[in-house]
Homo-oligomer: A and B are copies of this chain.
Amino acid sequence: MTQHYQNVRESRLERGRRALAEIDGQAGEKVVASLADIAPDFATYVIEFPFGDIYSRPGLDLRAREIATIAALTAMGNAAPQLKVHIEAGLNVGLSRDEITEIIMQMAVYAGFPAALNGLFAAKEVFAHIHATE
């Protein structure tokens, strides 16, 4: 996998689209599509800032970035749909199922056992869905 998203000739939107496709795959496209009728400009922002700006920065690889995101969304405990998208993204950028499970379990220390339990159940669902569609 190449992570050289920074390309001066490319717009933030183009760069973001490439990053989103590589990281989130179909799950990311689905989120963007679901915004088309209610807030199309927000779909652009979602691609531009998180993916065109942040994930495209060279200072941290995508594996580390997905560890951070899975940890944060598990700990916050109020964003189940996004956590599922990023558990799948974690697999896409090279994290193993066991590593994702370790990250979520660790959140029991910082955000409590309910947050970790709900994170594990989200992972279980994502892993089962991927297994069923493989």
In chain B, what residue has the closest Cβ to A69?
Answer: B110
Q: How far is the CB of A57 from chain B (nearest CB, A)?
A: 6
Interface range, A side = 35 or more
Q: B residues within 8 A CB of A50?
A: 109, 113
Q: B residues within 8 A CB of A68?
A: 67-68, 70-71, 103, 106-107
A102 to B66 Cα, complex, angstroms: 12
> Is B75 within 8 A of A77, CB to CB?
no
Chain A residues 77-134 with CB under 8 Å of chain B are: 77-79, 81-82, 98-99, 101-118, 120-121, 123-124, 127
Number of copies: 6
Q: Does A27 contact B (CB under 8 A)?
A: no
A72 to B111 Cα, complex, angstroms: 8
A69 to B55 Cα, complex, angstroms: 19
> Is A110 within 8 A of B101, CB to CB?
no
The 10 closest A-B pairs by CB, nearest first: A68-B71, A79-B114, A72-B75, A82-B114, A60-B102, A77-B78, A50-B109, A59-B102, A78-B78, A71-B71
